[in-house]
Amino acid sequence: MTTFQPVLLEAVGVAGSHTLASYRSRGGYAPLERMLKEKQPTDVIELVKASGLRGRGGAGFPTGLKWTFLPKDHPGPIYLCINADESEPGTFNNRILMEDDPHQVIEGIILSAYATRATTAYLYLRYEYPQSWDRLQGAIDEAYAAGLLGKNIQGSGFSLDLYLHRGAAAYICGEETGLIESLEGKRAWPRIKPPFPAIEGLFRKPTVVNNIETMACVAQIARRGVDWFRSIGVPSDPNNPRDPGSYGPKLYCLSGHVERPGCYEAPLGITARQLIDGQGGGVWKGRKAKAVIPGGISMGLLTEAELDTPLDFAGPGKVGCLGLGTAAVVVIDETVSIVDFLHNSCRFFAHESCGQCTPCREGTAWSLRMLERIRAGKGRLKDLELLAEIGNTMGMMPGSTICGLADGAAWPIKNAIKKFRGEFEDYIKRTNPSGWMVTDPVPALPIVAAH
Amino acid sequence: MITTQRILTPEMVASIEALAPRYPNRRALTLPALHIVNDELRYVPYEAVVEVAQLLGLAPAEVQDTLSFYQFFPQDKPSGETRAWVCRSISCALRGGEEILDHICHAAGIDPYGTTADGALTVEPAECLGACDFAPCMLAGKTLHKNLTKESAEAFVRDARAGKSS
């Protein structure tokens, strides 16, 4: 563990790392050429299944298993969508991979397309990453010229076209069916599942949607093998037959109040404290952490006492967080008001709710209006019950919405109120000394412009 | 409204058509087409929506439905020559992003979402730009401005108004 060498990020900081020549010099594309020659698509699926790779986009679904949901012997076309709509606050690992080592991503895409028998892949890139666009387009052009994309790749008989598709600054496009709708030229309203994309996805054809980091992991599994991948991380819990484990390296994005923000590669299962004190150089200005977001804002909060939680797929859930999410760790120091944190979170989700499901559209906007009122010194203790109720009723888990955005909006509310209730109560009593105990209905509030 | 002048230039149409072979239907060209128009004009006027719809074989309402969802494409008037997005999501907010936004607006003499009278600069709050390692940050055109301070924010506004920023 102490001698962990970055693999996914091995090229970061190396001059010219985004070029084909650089990637080839590091052994890149040789595994792909070998696989295309020697292996069948089902072999690649078995390889990825055996590795235990779980999707890096946030949900942690086993990648190889996802691929097996595609119908057998489908006449095609089958589509592969690469989700690079990385918009979860605090997350930037995909950007680093696309900018500094785009060929690693492309090799993973070609391998995944070969495994799934997709002949067209769309890489859905968020608008906010113009540098990634340029680097990826340059790398795609190089790959076409080298016969790594296009017709009959390396004489294998396998053909693949890879296209970039630009988003327009909407968080919901990171939800896989929202992404599909957006690609089809519609508003990005997530679809009711089933049918899942593997059965009926893009252009009503079988579709796999995978994250950029997942693609990089596929490339490295092909190069270094299953045993290497499974030697890193946290094995599955022998007492829980449903736990697929947390294998492999992971990119952790560290930001907020740390001395050295950045994207760091570490074995899955590193604790938040190890990451902050080690790679991050500690909480900034010698202060203490009040709370830490474990994996993007929608995962909720760890308290200082919970910082020894391992950041694997199972860890954050054990202390009441939604999950590992995108592994974006954001440190909030002791000087920050938790009310301000929650206001920021509620504003984000009120802005990004797509408006399709009423509980999410109204719940996110309502929670923002309440936080605005609390911050304006008109809070009441009863508001905390109401916020908790909103948090408990919107989302896929209570069964009131189509996608998980509302669960992500609810979790910071639920976690903040549960773990920092005393601070909320003190704030409300201090800022509203004459009205904190009132329980009458609040008069209609002016609409807060979240946009 | 009846207009004789087309908004979509032959070059724009050619750029849109060049992408057509990538997709199995023409509706999927909606977002790429809107980007092509917006890249050129810095907005997508309603007349352009009608022309895009005609080009793609769609109802104008279908294109407008998609366009309005994103709240990304201005329709009434063009964005400033520089469109600056100042991040206000959590990682930037923790490092002063909201203050930077206020400061830039103040220096430019506009409110958020406003455009300077000379048309040089539009400033908008943005949700996470995915550059939290450089918080507080801002995306102006294609340029990411990292680790902003009051001084660098002021310098940015000066340059943008002098036409030196992208």
Question: In A, which residues are within 8 Å of B90 by CB distance?
Answer: 89-90, 256, 293, 297, 330, 341, 344-345, 348
Joined tokens for residue A87: 């918009």
- Kindly state whether B128 is in contact with chain A, defined as any CB-CB distance less than 8 angstroms: yes
Q: What CATH architecture applies to the domain B82-161?
A: 3-Layer(aba) Sandwich (3.40)
Joined tokens for residue B115: 């455009």
3-state secondary structure chain A: CCCCCCCCCCCCCCCCCCCHHHHHHCCCCHHHHHHHHHCCHHHHHHHHHHHCCECCCCCCCEHHHHHHCCCCCCCCCCEEEEEECCCCCCCCHHHHHHHHCHHHHHHHHHHHHHHHCCCEEEEEECCCCHHHHHHHHHHHHHHHHCCCCECCHHHCCCCEEEEEEECCCCHHHHCHHHHHHHHCCCCCCCCCCCCCCCCCCHHHCCEEEEEHHHHHHHHHHHHHCHHHHHCCEECCCCCCCCCCCEECEEEEEEEECECCCEEEEEECCCEHHHHHHCCCCCEHHHCCEEEEECCCHHHCCEEHHHCCCECCCCHHHHCCCCCCCCCEEEEEECCCCHHHHHHHHHHHHHHHCCCCCHHHHHHHHHHHHHHHHHHHHHCCHHHHHHHHHHHHHCCCCCCCCCCCHHHHHHHHHHHHHHHCHHHHHHHHHHHCCCCCCCCCCCCCCCCCCCC
Work out the pLDDT band at A287, boundaries 50, 70, 90: very high
How many beta-carbon pairs under 8 angstroms link A with B?
135
Q: Report the pLDDT value the prediction gives residue B163, as an integer from 0 to 100.
A: 80
- Kindly state whether B89 is in contact with chain A, defined as any CB-CB distance less than 8 angstroms: yes
- The C-alpha angle A17, A19, A24, rounded to 5 degrees, equals 90
CA distance B117 to B80: 9
- Kindly state whether B163 is in contact with chain A, defined as any CB-CB distance less than 8 angstroms: no
Report the side by side order of strands in the sheet with B82-87. B121-126, B82-87, B138-140, B143-145
| Residue A449 confidence (pLDDT) above 90 | no
Question: In B, which residues are within 8 Å of A57 by CB distance?
Answer: none
> Over chain B, what is the mean pLDDT?
95
Cβ separation of B90 and A127 shorter than 8 Å? no
Q: Report the pLDDT value the prediction gives residue B165, as an integer from 0 to 100.
A: 55
Residue limits of CATH 1.20.1440.230 in chain A: 338-431
Question: In B, which residues are within 8 Å of A263 by CB distance?
Answer: 133
Joined tokens for residue B71: 């709240």
pLDDT one-digit tens code per residue, A327-374? 999 999 999 999 999 999 999 999 999 999 999 999 999 999 999 999
pLDDT one-digit tens code per residue, A81-118? 999 999 999 999 999 999 999 999 999 999 999 999 99
In percent, the amount of chain A with pLDDT more than 90 equals: 95
CA A148 to each of CA A36, A131, A190: distance values in angstroms, whole numbers, following the listed order: 11, 23, 33
Fold classified for B10-70: Arc Repressor Mutant, subunit A (1.10.10)
Of B31, B85, B127, which is closest to A168 when you measure between CB atoms?
A: B31
Fold classified for A338-431: de novo design (two linked rop proteins) (1.20.1440)
Name the B residues in 27-86 with CB < 8 Å from any A CB: 27-32, 34-35, 56, 65-66, 69-73, 85
Joined tokens for residue B10: 């032959």
Which of A278, A285, A335 is closest to A307 using CA atoms? Answer: A278
Work out the pLDDT band at A447, boundaries 50, 70, 90: low
Work out the pLDDT band at A1, boundaries 50, 70, 90: very low
| Residue A445 confidence (pLDDT) above 90 | no
- The C-alpha angle A387, A331, A133, rounded to 5 degrees, equals 95
> Over chain A, what is the mean pLDDT?
96
Cβ separation of A89 and B91 shorter than 8 Å? yes
Q: Given its phi and psi angles, is residue A272 left (phi above 0), alpha (psi -120 to 50 degrees) or beta?
A: alpha
H/E stretch holding B69 reads helix B60-70
Joined tokens for residue A333: 């120091």
**What is the Cα A131 distance to its own chain's centre?**
20
Long-range contacts of the stretch A22-25 (C-beta < 8 A, 24+) = A22/A103, A23/A101, A23/A103, A23/A104, A23/A107
CA distance A421 to A439: 18
Fold classified for A246-333: Ubiquitin-like (UB roll) (3.10.20)
The domain A20-231 is classified under which CATH number: 3.60.20.10, 3.40.50.11540, 3.40.50.10300, 2.30.42.10?
A: 3.40.50.11540
pLDDT one-digit tens code per residue, B61-70? 999 999 999 9
Joined tokens for residue B142: 């294609």
Cβ separation of A130 and B24 shorter than 8 Å? no
pLDDT one-digit tens code per residue, B130-155? 999 999 999 999 999 999 999 999 99
- Kindly state whether B144 is in contact with chain A, defined as any CB-CB distance less than 8 angstroms: yes
Interface mutation vs chain B, best among A164, A297, A344, most B CBs within 10 Å: A344
Average pLDDT score over residue span A264-271? 97
Average pLDDT score over residue span B115-126? 96
Of A163, A185, A256, which is closest to B94 when you measure between CB atoms?
A: A256
Q: Note the pTM of the prediction, 2 decimals.
A: 0.95
Question: In B, which residues are within 8 Å of A345 by CB distance?
Answer: 90
To the nearest whole Å, the CA of B151 is away from the closest chain A CA by: 21
Question: In B, which residues are within 8 Å of A330 by CB distance?
Answer: 90-91, 94, 132
Q: Which residue of B has its CA nearest to A184?
A: B28
DSSP state of B18: H
| Residue A442 confidence (pLDDT) above 90 | no
Cβ separation of A87 and B128 shorter than 8 Å? yes
Find out whether the peptide bond into A412 is cis, omega within 30 degrees of 0. Answer: no
Q: Are A353 and A406 in contact (CB under 8 A)?
A: yes
Residue limits of CATH 3.10.20.600 in chain A: 246-333
